[in-house]
Amino acid sequence: MTRVLITGGTGFLGSWCVLTLLEAGHTVRTTVRDPRREPALRSWLHAATPFDDDRLTVVRADLADPDGWDDAVAGCDFVLHVASPTLRHAPAHDDELVTPAREGVLRVLRAARAAGVRRVVLTSAFGAVGMGHPPRSTAFTEEDWTDLDGDVPPYQRSKTLAERAAWRFAAGEGAGTELTAIQPVGVLGPLLGPDDPPSLRVVRRMLEGRMPACPPFGMGFVDVRDVADLHLRAMTDPAAAGERFLATAVPSMRMVEIAHVLRERLGERAAKVPTRELPLWLARALGVVNPEMRLLGHQLGRDLAATSAKAERLLGWRARPVGDTVAETAESLLALGIGR
């Protein structure tokens, strides 16, 4: 029986990866920073699918702490390294995110190599692919890398440097353990349990009426369930070894298009959702006084398009329609009392 370690099992994507692998028949070990969250995680998973409790083990390990990783990886055939440090506030400096992300991935890779793990699937991000570049009319592909000499926010900088470090490790001292990297765009979709993942906040704020007009930009979006499925395919398919895979359901979708989907699919429950897009000049002016708009400064006025043609061609992966994902994201938030 295949045993898989998934880091960050209580996170939005991590919990869906745990569920997807349990449903596929694998034995899963997952890391958490706080062991007190294990009962909640098991409850979420049992509500979603039947499984034998002995096929899931929860262990404590923290990306910022070297202890525990050798034990976490021991006996595992594969590792899905999904966990990544995030902050609930804007970092005072880049190192608050960069150092734990880069050192964390190296801790996991070293432990995986020492344990004889066959393949590590790293959850990177579109932020490691398409940031810091001048405007372009073509979609970003896996051949692209974020230009760190450009305007790159701390989180995207951390993902870029962490993935770069992973590939350097794989090419050197990590020889013998295969590496594959997944770069999701904006991840939406239903929650398994009450949580506040940053990627769902745009939908939540629209539902709550906290966004009087939509910021003028577009980007790709993808369903969390499809990203978890891509991790499973990347783990098991020989064609995935040594490759990067972008994950997106649509090349680019404007924020106002998301708003229109919510209005059409949810009716009166989306009465607070905005229906217009801010003029670009006004959005930039608001960035001077509005911290949230300031964080979007590198995206305003742009459509950051990406393509998943490679994952579709090599791994047979397909994403569900993005409109369904947007609507089910909102339904999930409302069912949990979030966004009302």
Round the average pLDDT of the chain to a whole number and report it. 93
Cross-strand partners of 78: 4, 119
Indicate the range of 52-56, 129-133, 246-250, 294-298 predicted with least confidence.
294-298
How far is it, in rounded angstroms, from Cα 32 to Cα 11?
9
pTM for this one?
0.95
Cross-strand partners of 59: 31
CATH class of 3-197+221-252+306-322: alpha beta
92 pLDDT tier (thresholds 50, 70, 90): very low
pLDDT at 93: 53
pLDDT at 9: 96
Give the residue numbers annotated as catalytic, written as ranges.
159
Q: What number is the average pLDDT over the span 158-165?
A: 96
How far is it, in rounded angstroms, from Cα 260 to Cα 273?
8
pLDDT at 97: 80
Alpha helices in the chain (DSSP H): 12-23, 38-48, 69-73, 95-115, 154-171, 201-208, 224-236, 255-266, 280-286, 291-295, 309-315, 322-335
Question: Is the per-residue pLDDT at 338 higher than 90?
Answer: no
Question: Is the per-residue pLDDT at 86 higher than 70?
Answer: no
Indicate the range of 189-198, 280-289, 305-314 predicted with least confidence.
280-289
> DSSP secondary-structure letter at 139?
P
Q: pLDDT per residue over 13-35, tens digit each?
A: 999 999 999 999 999 999 999 99
Ranges of each domain in the chain? 3-197+221-252+306-322
Question: Is the per-residue pLDDT at 105 higher than 70?
Answer: yes
- At 120, give phi and psi (nearest 5°): -110, 125
> At residue 42, what is the residue type?
R
Question: Is the per-residue pLDDT at 142 higher than 60?
Answer: yes
pLDDT at 87: 53
